[in-house]
Every structure is written in C-alpha cells, then in structure tokens.
Amino acid sequence: MIKDRILLLTLVLLVNGCYSNKLVTVSSDSQKSLKTINRSVHNKTVQIQLTSGESFTGKSVRVTKDSTSWFDAESESTRHRVVTSNIRSISREHRNTAKGLGYGFLIGAALGALISQTGDEDSYDCSDSEGICFTRPAAAVLGIIVVGPPAGLIGLISGSLTKTTERYEFK
C-alpha cells in the first residue's frame, strides 16, 4: 500500500518535473534584464506579442531599451522594428531532454532507495537466510541502481516529448 503511493507520487513528480514553464517580468529600463532576454532568444524562433494584440513569429530578436527588432521567422528577410514599450511579451518553446534525464534519474534513485527501506524490519533479518539477503544500506544502493536508470530513461523521454515555455513579460 505504502509502496504504491510512493510509486504514484514519484511518477507524478517525474512527469511534472519535466514541465518547466518560466515567467520573467522584465523592466525595459534594466540592462541586465535585456541582456538576459537577448541571450536566451538569440537565433531562436520566438512568439512576440504586442500591446495592441498583434502577434508575430520572429527570429534573431534584439531587444534594447528603446526598440525591439526581429526577422520574420518564415522568410528571414523582413526585419520588423517596434518601440520596446509596445512589446507585451516574448516567448519561446523548447524541449529539454537533459533536464528530463537528470530529474528522472534523481527521482528514480530516490524512489529506489525509499522503496527498499519501506519493508518490514523482520524482512532484513538474515539469520534464517534462504537465498539472497540484503542489509538495509545494501538494499538502498541496490534500489538506486535498479530503479534510477529506468526512471532516468522515462525522464529523458518525457523531457524530449514535452515542451518548456520561457515567457518574458514587459512592464
């Protein structure tokens, strides 16, 4: 019963841990914020939403205190330029397989160690051993080794299938 709940909780954490939406509120007066945005969206395809409600898909976005410019994502020949105060948000979607792998392995390793420790105290009495008997620490290590890599694979797959959204909102 307890192992089922732990497994379900871990699965939920594993799948939801790979969804990572980031919302950043940006002041157009802050040079640090503008550098962060420019670094994040450099040569990436992004959605640009204006305060008027218009929306564009752009590439090679450049945000300065006064103006924001980008190339049309499809033709890459038409350059658009607007006053930065007219930008509502810039967002981009991407997949993060490495992050999914990392979360998956860590959650899986923790799950393996935890499950291995939830048995009866009597089940670790090796005096009447029939076959293989593990101490609690050995069972924890074995749990990490057995459950960690498959959970990492699940996290890798989940991270490659799910999209992460970074959204920069301007104030």
Residue 22, number of CB atoms within 10 A of its CB: 11
Per-residue pLDDT, 18: 46
Report the C-alpha gap between 70 and 83 in whole angstroms. Answer: 12
Report the C-alpha gap between 168 and 62 in whole angstroms. Answer: 13
- First CA to last CA across the chain, in angstroms? 50
Q: Which domains does the chain have, with CATH numbers?
A: 2-18+96-160 (no CATH), 22-95 (2.30.30.100)
Residue 46, number of CB atoms within 10 A of its CB: 23
Q: pLDDT tens digits for the chain (171 residues)?
A: 555 565 555 556 555 554 445 666 666 567 778 888 888 888 899 999 999 999 999 999 999 888 999 999 888 788 999 999 899 999 988 776 777 677 777 777 777 777 666 655 555 556 665 666 667 777 777 777 777 777 777 767 766 677 777 888 887
pTM recorded for the entire structure: 0.58
CA 102 from centroid of its chain's CA atoms: 10
CA 36 from centroid of its chain's CA atoms: 18
Per-residue pLDDT, 71: 93
Report the C-alpha gap between 31 and 38 in whole angstroms. Answer: 10
CA angle 81, 86, 90 (to 5 degrees): 80
Residue 112, number of CB atoms within 10 A of its CB: 24
